[in-house]
Structure 1
């Protein structure tokens, strides 16, 4: 744009630096990512504009976004016509574009300022005293400005500067929170897409592999070692299928949905015994089951097994080596209670609140030799809640770590409620 006079070297250098920033593609993308260009006014930002006007006793405050072509007024107090209606200004008429290097524009008397006095917008806008602070995102890109304008000479006080800095910081806090929410949504969509593609693409070859292995077992089962190899491969394929299902369920839990259940009559005592017997092949002599009775339930048998397997295997992996792991079953009225207790280093108090979150691993687990994805405990809670139950944990150096799962005897009521 053409200034109404010749700028000194310092002012000219500033305009040249800011002009280069004007079309920076990364800066422009950051503005697009806010999703605020050409959107209606919002109370979240208008409130800060009003507050600035009241605290500083000025007639005009504006929050703007500055892209390559125009200055868009997102929020204001006292914006005059026709700008109140158009809510934008051509970039050539913008003064705020000269904050794109991150430097504020502050003046008590613009007509006497060596830079501002030649800018063509100062006269028509009645700009005399002004504070223009850049809105800088965490990556260092200037998105726009927050400014206050006084149509008369005014010596700004330290309090005035502090008020504007704090309100500008509040605007950026709002913008940064929105950006984090946007990124989380993008991450969730990517994860959901990835999980869907993974499960779709892997299940077909896994099914084909299982059929082929079973066929080999039937045709050549009499050969030495064949049945052992077939069993080993089948077991590995079953584990891969369970991992796929875990990813699917973890994705559902992360999205706030219930894990799908297949309800039927089952015996929690028998299911727990079977699961612990199989785990004892890997962790011999570790499990002690205390239970009396049949523990008949209307629940998802596979889901119950997954709860027991995850809690028991976690206790074996992360508890003190060689110490017993107590598994207790108890019926309390119309609820079944499963507890798995192990000894060893306690879970840190600050992690007890997040330990059931998907893809979260406690520091002790992450630092251990045992590998994992942080899916086991979220699945335990997800399956429990899908039944209408709950999962909790306590942990201390004296009492050890105890995971408790409480389930209704009949989960059909919960299924009707959430169908």
Structure 2
């Protein structure tokens, strides 16, 4: 992969950033998508079928990486998430205690218990999160790393999000200063992943096996609380 530097006037860059924000993507992704579209038009005009097919594939991949995943929109998963009754509820001392332990165990400035809805993630607990996010306690999926855990039953381990192909265009890097991320899926007895227990750092770092194992142990406590809520209907 090649990196390049392109200079924009301040006015043009402001317009570009505003439109990218409206689309829920980063300015870099907006520029990349616009480049793909322009090259596609030129190759089609020249009748270059090979180039057109390559660009069509690139465009499809860019859009696919932006859209909610199949797991995110799974009806049974979303139904169980709703049955927990945890969305949009006030902070809870039990969940906050677990998140605090996670932050200390991983020596991380931020820890979250994130529940991933169809179009947002809600933080049942957030330790060390900056404003306005610690007040709103949610972000759109354009700012969610946790959504990627829905497709996996193993930890999501990211040492530097800025260069990681899964999340390098995610707006959480810019807006929440998420650089390193470790997320453990919250998998219910029914087999649905509702979100993650995760820790975040504002600089690149290596997560140790002990930290990963420790977070997995804490995750069992989060899931036990969720299962209790499901069992009592509260």
Corresponding residue number in structure 1 for 2:112 = 62
Q: Is 1:108 matched with 2:148?
A: no
Greater relative CO, 1 or 2 (CA 8 Å, sep 6+)? 2
Q: 2:80 pairs with 27, 30, 42, which one?
A: 30
Provide closer, same or farther for how the CA distance between residues 167 and 43 of structure 1 changes in structure 2, counting only shifts above 3 A: same
> How many equivalent pairs are there?
182
Q: Unpaired segments of 5 or more residues in structure 2?
A: 1-23, 34-56
Q: How large is the RMSD of aligned CA atoms in angstroms?
A: 2.7
Corresponding residue number in structure 1 for 2:100 = 50
Question: Retained in 2: the 8 A contact 1:66–1:144?
Answer: yes
Provide closer, same or farther for how the CA distance between residues 43 and 92 of structure 1 changes in structure 2, counting only shifts above 3 A: same
Q: Deviations over 1:213-233 (max 9, x none)?
A: xxxxxxxxxxxxxxxxxxxxx
TM-score (norm 1): 0.40
Q: 2:178 pairs with 100, 103, 127, which one?
A: 127
Question: Retained in 2: the 8 A contact 1:102–1:136?
Answer: no
Cα distance in 2, alignment partners of residues 51 and 140 from structure 1: 25
Q: 2:219 pairs with 168, 174, 196, which one?
A: 168
Corresponding residue number in structure 1 for 2:202 = 151
Q: Which has the larger radius of gyration?
A: 1
Q: Deviations over 1:357-408 (max 9, x none)?
A: xxxxxxxxxxxxxxxxxxxxxxxxxxxxxxxxxxxxxxxxxxxxxxxxxxxx
Cα distance in 2, alignment partners of residues 169 and 47 from structure 1: 14
TM-score (norm 2): 0.69
Question: Retained in 2: the 8 A contact 1:133–1:168?
Answer: yes
Q: Deviations over 1:98-125 (max 9, x none)?
A: 2221354211111121222222221222
Matched residue of 1:21: which SS? coil
> Within 5 A, what are the aligned runs for 1:223-302?
none
Q: Deviations over 1:245-275 (max 9, x none)?
A: xxxxxxxxxxxxxxxxxxxxxxxxxxxxxxx
Corresponding residue number in structure 2 for 1:271 = none
Cα distance in 2, alignment partners of residues 92 and 112 from structure 1: 17
Provide closer, same or farther for how the CA distance between residues 100 and 81 of structure 1 changes in structure 2, counting only shifts above 3 A: same
Q: 1:142 pairs with 174, 187, 193, which one?
A: 193
Runs of 4+ off more than 6 Å:
11-14
Deviation at 1:80, TM superposition (A): 0.9
Matched residue of 2:182: which SS? strand
